[in-house]
Amino acid sequence: MPYRSRPLFPSSASKLRAFGVLLMALLATPACALAANHGQRLAHTALPEQFHELRQQLLERVVQPLLQKSAPQRRPWRNADSIRLPQPAAPDGSGTALPAPPASPRASLPGDAVAGRWPEHSSSLFERYWWQILLGGALIILQGLLISALVFALRARRATLNALHDEHSQLEARVLQRTQELLAANAKLELLATTDPLTGIGNRRRMTEQIDRELDRGRRHHHPLSLLMADIDHFKNVNDQYGHEAGDRVIIAVAKALAGGVRQIDLASRFGGEEFVLLMPETPIDVAASAAERLREEIANLVVLGDKGESIRFTISIGVAAATPENLTDTPSSLVSRADKALYQAKEAGRNRVVRNG
């Protein structure tokens, strides 16, 4: 049989099996030692000896049999020197054999090589497979590092998302707070723009807007609309005799009487100076004139104290005008103008009276 050379390195399957078995042995050694000594307290110096003993037993009983089984089977070969060929006879016919050929160099090989076996290496298992072990350990360490980096990255991402969520919530809360403050400020500005600061009732702007809305609503629903314009009689004499603070108290008293003596749908406003306007929706001119007379009598009975405690009495004159649904040409200014003319007539007639236009 021809000579077959042994491969310099083991096959890939053998390498993998050997590396797997060795890795299992390395990983199982601490677990075996801990399981064998569970519940016992060992001396520090005795642990390395027990680990070494367990390791040797595991290598002898498990690893080496597996390595021998996994090693490739080789067919035995015979040394060429062992083949006995017939010796040729001498040329002279004497029958003596020719001298034997010189010894082959193979005769100097060890017995194991002659028998077809490779000599055993004296190196340990770790020395034979050190680079596979190092590579496996490096891969395990690399996997651990990658997993740790991934965990830290996920934690950092979660912390960042939580921070962004908190910041978003705070931003929404601030925006909501600013929106509420802005709405409150706008409402306050609207109130200041449509409210008389002295009396607290509506001003001329608010009254003009309300007259325009009520005219449109009266035309749609065929309801009449009445308007009362009142003026304090001889108000200049009140300011000259009792002072401007007393005059302001008189204006406030008239505003309260006009706003408190009417319905909720009615609107009272200070139109300017000592003039007041009372808007009465869904009210014909006769009913509005009766209400104006009642208000005139109520205000005539009011008493306001001056700066020195003196009693101040005063009266008002009222002009009444109305807009009917059939009159489509009425505007806020035209309705106010008719009521102002009726007021001027009441002033000309002697004051402290009610005059209606139409």
Percentage of the chain modeled with pLDDT above 90: 46
Burial class (CB within 10 angstroms; exposed 0-12, middle 13-18, buried 19+) of 338: buried
Its domain, for residue 184, covers 169-198
What's the rounded mean pLDDT across residues 42-47? 47
Judge whether 331 lies within some domain.
yes
130 shares its domain with 218: no
In a domain, 244, yes or no: yes
- Residues 283, 231 share a domain: yes
- Residue 22's pLDDT is what? 56
The answer, yes or no, to whether residue 318 has pLDDT greater than 90, is: yes
Domain presence at residue 142 = yes
Cα–chain-centroid distance for residue 76?
78
Determine, yes or no, domain membership for 276. Answer: yes
- pLDDT range class, residue 226, cuts 50, 70, 90: very high
Mean pLDDT of the 23-45 span:
48
pLDDT tier, 192 (very low <50, low <70, confident <90, very high otherwise): confident
57 with 189, same domain: the answer is no
Query: What Rg value do the Cα atoms of the chain yield, rounded?
Result: 61
Per-residue tokens: 102: 């010189």
The answer to whether residues 235 and 339 belong to one domain is yes
- Average pLDDT of the chain to the nearest whole number: 78
Question: pLDDT band for position 24 (50/70/90)?
Answer: low
For residue 262, the domain's CATH number is 3.30.70.270
Helix axes 130-194, 204-221, angle to 10 degrees: 90
The reply to whether 103 falls in a domain is: no
31 pLDDT band, cuts 50/70/90, is very low
31: left (phi over 0), alpha (psi -120 to 50) or beta: alpha
Query: Is the domain of 232 the same as that of 183?
Result: no
Residue 101 inside a domain? The answer is no
User: What confidence category does residue 68 fall into, taking pLDDT thresholds of 50, 70 and 90?
Assistant: low
The number of folded domains in the chain is 3
Residues 139 and 259 in one domain: no
182 and 295 inside one domain = no
Residues 262-280: tens digit of each pLDDT = 888 999 999 888 999 999 9
What is the reported pTM? 0.53
Task: Tell me the C-alpha distance between 286 and 276, whole Å.
Answer: 20
Residue 182 predicted with pLDDT over 50: yes
What are the tokens at 108? 């100097």
Residues 139, 26 share a domain: yes
Catalytic residue set: 274
Same domain? 217 vs 129: no
pLDDT at 56: 76
Query: Do 53 and 24 share a structural domain?
Result: yes
Do 231 and 345 belong to one domain?
Answer: yes
- Let me know whether 173 and 293 are in one domain: no
